[in-house]
Structure 1
Amino acid sequence: MWLQLWSVLNGTLINAATVTGGTTLGLTVATRMPQRYQQIVLSCLGLMTVALGVDAAVLQFASTVETFRGQISVAPQTYGARLAMVMIASLVIGGLIGSVLRLHERIEAFGGWVHRRFSGSADAAGAHRFAEGFLTASVIFCVGPLTLLGCLRNGADADPSYLYIKAVLDGFCSMALAASMGWGVGLSVITVLVFQGGLSLLAFFVTDPLHEVARNMMTTVGGVVMLGNALMILDVKKIPVADLLPGLFLPPAMIWMVERIWPGLLLP
């Protein structure tokens, strides 16, 4: 049993280990890094997050339209418009759900509580920086093409290769994030374990996996959320990114409902 559990979760556990190691190294470097260098690192991370978000939101969307539009027998623009409506509806409804639940506020409050609990300081600026590091790292590490595809393959096929690649990338990213945003980045290990571990276990137990269109739309919505995170990192606009997170899980449900009403509208 334990061996089987390891085969399902090994990618996630290795990923969590690299994030922990990267955070530790980043904090060590941060003590010797002038503030202006930390700001440069943070700007580079923001630009990198823009690139990752565009890749997931735009390129993944375009690839999905190109791959499946022939099987639906409609013009590319028509099929793209249908999928765009799914993406927009997922973001809007997910954002409303997150706003009602006050996810962003609660996550920031949780980060502030952890900061006060372990640092013994009531410094509001320090608590905000800690919470921002936790939230930023959680979104970067858990929203993206490699996360969803890697977890599904790790759980369904016992193939952790995608998550191993992600683990290496996240290790370097956590190092840079921790050097700029502090030890709140390390708390994102909990998010990685819960989110990725949950997806891998779900893929292991569910015999009927998500259709590729549904998976790709989840990735596309995740790319938009990542772009919102990038705007926050770059101080362009303060966006309650955590409120948008429920939208990640809505595309499969919306596609399922549409297909029940109008079969063949979205899926071949």
Structure 2
Amino acid sequence: MFGLGTIINTLSVIIGSIFGLFFKKGLRESVQDILMKASGIAILFIGISGVLSYMLIIENGTIGTRGTMLLIFSMTFGSLTGELLNIEEKIERFGLWLRDFFRARGDSSFIDGFVNTSLIICIGAMAIVGAIEDGVHHDISTLTAKAILDFVIVLVNASIYGKGVLCSAIPIFFYQGSITVLAAAAGSFVSDTLITQLSFVGAALIFCIGINTAFGKIFKVGNMLPALFFPIFTFLLGHFFPAAANFFS
């Protein structure tokens, strides 16, 4: 079934959130605080491992790096674009609308729960690769594995932030679903190189989310989201100017 992976993943987020809301009632504030910091550290290392798995290469017993210019240009110009568009504010406004819609005005952590969780589960290698595999090959194995991981993440986050986490099921459904549809339309044009580079930049954004979760909000990750589009730009550029592809590889 087309898009089944995203449906499974969305259901896992909803069910995990419900379990987390149930556990929230019995957690002290100190327990919620340590859970948030611990999950932040875990997210940090997920991001670090994703970046290093692409950047570090071993040739003839020598460790080298690649993708440095791609990372610099993606993060710099992507963040600049997002800042000019003020994407994070628009995401927060949507969170405010959801809070009002669900009549949770008194819930001070609603928006943080919605924004932080949405970014964690939407940005990353498994979301991008899994959605593309679903669209091109109808292979849902990656998204099924991601559904299990997201279940744990939203359970913990819902126990910390509350109802806002449940609403993160909305963006993940449309985000992954859109990638699946676009991948199905693009077909064989979606190369392994492009998928890998998208995952690489996504891992860098996950690192920033981990910093925010563990140490308080430092990065406006929402405004950094356009960085994900830069690998697509360099991929298309490489078709017309091969030297450019080598520069960003």
Q: TM-score, normalising length from structure 1?
A: 0.85
Residue 256 (1) aligns with residue 240 (2): no
Question: What is the SS of the residue equivalent to 1:32?
Answer: coil
Q: Which residue identity lines up with residue 98 of structure 1 in the other structure?
A: G
Matched-pair contact (CA < 8 Å) for 2:91–2:115: yes
| 1:51-130 alignment runs, 5 A limit | 51-62=45-56, 65=57, 77=64, 80=66, 83-119=67-103, 121=105, 123=106, 126-127=107-108, 129-130=109-110
Structure-1 separation of matches of 2:247 and 2:63: 12
Which aligned segments of 4 or more residues in structure 1 are displaced greater than 6 angstroms?
Answer: none
Question: What is the SS of the residue equivalent to 1:207?
Answer: helix
* Structure 2 match to 1:45: 39
Residue 11 (1) aligns with residue 22 (2): no
Gapped regions of structure 1 (runs ≥ 5): 1-6
* Structure 2 match to 1:161: 141
Matched-pair contact (CA < 8 Å) for 2:104–2:110: no
Question: What is the SS of the residue equivalent to 1:33?
Answer: coil
* Structure 2 match to 1:31: 25
1:221 to 201, 207, 221: 201
Gapped regions of structure 2 (runs ≥ 5): none
* Structure 1 match to 2:222: 242
Q: Which residue identity lines up with residue 94 of structure 1 in the other structure?
A: G
Matched-pair contact (CA < 8 Å) for 1:50–1:226: yes
* Structure 1 match to 2:159: 179
Matched-pair contact (CA < 8 Å) for 1:46–1:234: yes
Matched-pair contact (CA < 8 Å) for 2:129–2:199: no
Structure-2 separation of matches of 1:144 and 1:107: 18
Query: RMSD in angstroms over aligned alpha carbons?
Result: 2.2
Q: How far off is 1:148 after superposition?
A: 1.5
Q: How far off is 1:267 after superposition?
A: 9.2
Q: How far off is 1:152 after superposition?
A: 1.3
Q: Aligned in 2, Cα 1:8/1:267: closer, same or farther, shift over 3 Å?
A: farther
Structure-1 separation of matches of 2:221 and 2:193: 24
Matched-pair contact (CA < 8 Å) for 1:214–1:255: yes
Q: How far off is 1:14 after superposition?
A: 0.5
Q: How far off is 1:59 after superposition?
A: 1.6
Matched-pair contact (CA < 8 Å) for 2:40–2:210: yes
* Structure 1 match to 2:121: 141
Q: Aligned in 2, Cα 1:255/1:76: closer, same or farther, shift over 3 Å?
A: farther
Q: How many residues align?
A: 247
Q: How far off is 1:45 after superposition?
A: 0.9
Q: Aligned in 2, Cα 1:156/1:120: closer, same or farther, shift over 3 Å?
A: closer
Structure-2 separation of matches of 1:266 and 1:161: 34
Q: How far off is 1:262 after superposition?
A: 3.2
Structure-2 separation of matches of 1:138 and 1:131: 10
